[in-house]
Amino acid sequence: MPNLQNPLVVALLYDGLCTFEFGIVAEVFGLARPEMGPIWYRFASCAIEPGPLRAHGGFSIIADGGSNLIEHADLIVVPGWKGPGVPVPDSLTSALRRAHAHGARLASICSGAFVLAATGLLDGAVVTTHWRYADALRRQFPAIMVDETSLYRGADGIFTSAGSAAGIDLMLEIVRQDFGSDAANSVARRIVMPAHRSGGQAQFLERPIGIRPGAEIAPLLDLMRHQIHRRWSIQDMASEARMSKRTFERRFVEATGQWPGQWLIGERVEAAKELLIQTKRPMEEIAEAVGFGSSHTLRHHFCRSVRLSPSQFRSQFSDSRSGA
């Protein structure tokens, strides 16, 4: 637990700084909030290497102090990193290990997970990062279990978050843990964010189909998307592709990396998302339109895939102007 009398939050600065990620930390912890009273956070930026330091967007930055700030911090945030393959300085990993041993919490946004992983403090833990970096994080740090589906994860005073916007969710969660839900909700209102998205909620990533050029089943996939409402059986699919069932299943997995039933469920969930966002149609109609048949089946597969119910997804992402 931090010292709740003005805990010091330190954000790390480096050449090539991820501007948006740093802005998240500065907005949540560094903005003056007199309504929160005298015990609110203190905030400082910390240069981990000599300048000049540049940030994405073409401007230079000046830090509040050097790496000595790390030893005084209650919470240290790594706002992204230079890249998955860029080594993390030994001096930094040593400083982070010492700080954590003395009670400081550590947090990362997006690719900042590579910095925390380099300390060795995440070995054996379940962490998250942006889905684009998940495989690289696994390869570089095989002792870590990577969950690329969650918005954020945290245990034993170390937190990781997914893509940039998920960093806002994590920072709000830390405020909630430190000062309660009312404080977190107040900060969320100021930055016009949902008051709370759980860490277990799925990242809303694009689902690459991964079809090889000229794949024999590509026309069938287009047909299945066009007729997503149809009750497709494996035999129906194989017949449309003019293959035996066994050959079809093998070719399908080779082309998409998924079994036909898995792929079809994923496409139906994606189609349901579109209808939930763009229309006000009842759940039973949407379930029928995308081939799930019932709202119960729709909810089951939607919750497993998205980690939100269809109703929760609609409330967060629907276009309020839609009247369809």
Instruction: Tell me what pLDDT residue 204 has.
Output: 52
User: Which of 14-18, 124-128, 218-222, 233-237 has the least mean pLDDT?
Assistant: 218-222
Measure the CA–CA gap between 30 and 185, rounded to whole angstroms.
17
Q: How sure is the predictor about 225, in pLDDT bands with cuts at 50, 70 and 90?
A: confident
CATH 3.40.50.880 placement within the chain: 8-190
Give mean pLDDT, residues 290-295. 93
Q: How sure is the predictor about 323, in pLDDT bands with cuts at 50, 70 and 90?
A: very low
Give mean pLDDT, residues 251-263. 86
Q: Using an 8 Å Cβ cutoff, are 77 and 24 in contact?
A: no
Closest CA to 290 of 194, 225, 245, 237: 225
Quick one: tokens of 140?
């570089």
Q: For residue 297, is pLDDT > 70?
A: yes
CATH 1.10.10.60 placement within the chain: 218-317
Question: Which residue type occupies 221?
Answer: L
Architecture of domain 8-190: 3-Layer(aba) Sandwich (3.40)
The residue with greater pLDDT, 321 or 164, is 164
Instruction: Tell me what pLDDT residue 14 has.
Output: 97
Q: Using an 8 Å Cβ cutoff, are 146 and 157 in contact?
A: no
Q: For residue 193, is pLDDT > 90?
A: no
Q: For residue 42, is pLDDT > 70?
A: yes
For 109, other C-beta atoms within 10 Å of its C-beta total 33
Q: How sure is the predictor about 194, in pLDDT bands with cuts at 50, 70 and 90?
A: low
CATH topology of domain 218-317: Arc Repressor Mutant, subunit A (1.10.10)
Measure the CA–CA gap between 316 and 273, rounded to whole angstroms.
11
For 70, other C-beta atoms within 10 Å of its C-beta total 20
The residue with greater pLDDT, 192 or 144, is 144
- pLDDT by residue (tens digit) across 73-129? 999 999 999 999 899 999 999 999 999 999 999 999 999 999 999 999 999 999 999
